[in-house]
Amino acid sequence: MARILAIDSGLTVTKAVVFDLAGRQHGVARRNVEQCMPAPRHVERDMAGLWNQTALAIRDAMVASDSKPGDIIAVAATAHGDGVYLLDRAGVPLGPGILSLDSRAGAQVDRWHKDGTANRSLHLTGQEPHVSAPSALLAWIRDEQPDRFARIGHVLACKDWLRHCLTGSIGTDRTEASTSFTDVSTQGYTTEALSLFGLDALAPALPDIAGPAEIVGRVTEEAARATGLAPGTPVAAGLHDVTASTLGIGAHVPGIVGLVAGTYSINEVVSRAPSVGAGWFCRNAVQPERWNNMSISPASTTNYDWFLDTLCAADKARTAAEGGSIHALLAPEIEAGLSRASSVIYHPYLFGSPHGPGPSAGFLGLRGWHDRGDMLAALLEGIAFNHRHHVDILRNAFLADEARLTGGASRNPAVAQLFADVLDMPVTVTETDEAAAWGAALCAGSAVGAFDGVEADPRDLAALSTRYTPAPDRAMHYHDRYAAFRAISAEMRDSWDRLNTLDTQHRGAPHDR
331 occurs within a structural domain: yes
Burial of 32 (0-12, 13-18, 19+ CB in 10 A): exposed
Report the sign of the C-alpha dihedral through residues 315, 317, 318, 323, in that order: positive
DSSP, collapsed to helix, strand or coil, labels residue 162 as: helix
Q: Is residue 20 part of a domain?
A: yes
Claim to verify: residue 206 and residue 315 sit in the same structural domain:
no
**226 occurs within a structural domain:** yes
- Answer whether residue 512 is part of any domain: no
In a domain, 144, yes or no: yes
In a domain, 418, yes or no: yes
How many beta carbons lie within 10 A of that of residue 404, not counting itself?
Answer: 28
Residues 156 and 9 in one domain: yes
Residue 329 near residue 79, CB atoms below 8 Å: no
55-87 burial: b if 16+ Cβ within 10 Å, else e:
bbbbbbbbeebebeeebbbbbbbbbbbbbbbbb
Domain CATH number, residue 96: 3.30.420.40
Residues 198 and 65 in one domain: yes
Cβ-based burial of 512 (10 A; exposed 0-12, middle 13-18, buried ≥19): exposed
Q: Which of residues 227, 244, 261 is at a domain's end?
A: 244
Is there a single domain that holds both residue 195 and residue 321?
Answer: no
3 state DSSP class of 200: helix
Residues 104 and 220 in one domain: yes
In a domain, residue 182? The reply is: yes
Strand ranges, E, within 289-447: 291-297, 345-347, 362-364, 400-406, 427-430
In order along its 513 residues, the chain shows pLDDT tens digits of 899 999 999 988 999 999 999 999 999 999 999 999 999 889 999 999 999 999 999 999 999 999 999 999 999 999 999 999 999 999 999 999 999 989 899 999 999 999 999 999 999 999 999 999 999 999 999 999 999 999 999 999 999 999 999 999 999 999 999 999 999 999 999 999 999 999 999 999 999 999 999 999 999 999 999 999 999 999 999 999 989 999 999 999 899 999 999 888 999 999 999 999 999 999 999 999 999 999 999 899 999 999 999 999 999 999 999 999 999 999 999 999 999 999 999 999 998 899 987 899 999 999 999 999 999 999 999 999 999 999 999 999 999 999 999 988 888 899 999 999 999 999 999 888 899 999 999 999 999 999 999 999 999 988 989 999 999 999 999 999 999 999 999 999 999 999 988 877 766 655 554
Look at residues 229, 244, 259 and tell me which one is the last residue of a structural domain. Answer: 244
Q: 314 burial class (0-12, 13-18, 19+ CB within 10 angstroms)?
A: exposed
Pairs from 119-123 (Cβ < 8 Å, separation ≥ 24): 120/196, 121/193, 121/196, 121/197, 122/276, 122/277, 122/278, 123/184, 123/276
Q: 225 with 144, same domain?
A: yes
Domain identity same for 195 and 312: no
Provide the domain count of the chain.
Answer: 2
Query: 374 is in which domain, residue-wise?
Result: 302-429+470-500
Tell me: do 485 and 352 sit in the same domain. yes
Q: Are the C-beta atoms of 22 and 458 separated by less than 8 Å?
A: yes
239 lies in the same domain as 307: no
Looking at residue 300, its amino acid is S
**Same domain, yes or no: 112 and 17:** yes
pTM (predicted TM-score): 0.91
Claim to verify: residue 48 and residue 135 sit in the same structural domain: yes
Per this entry, what is the length of the chain?
513
Asked if 317 and 233 sit in the same domain, the reply is no
505: in domain:
no
Domain limit, last residue, from 196, 211, 244: 244
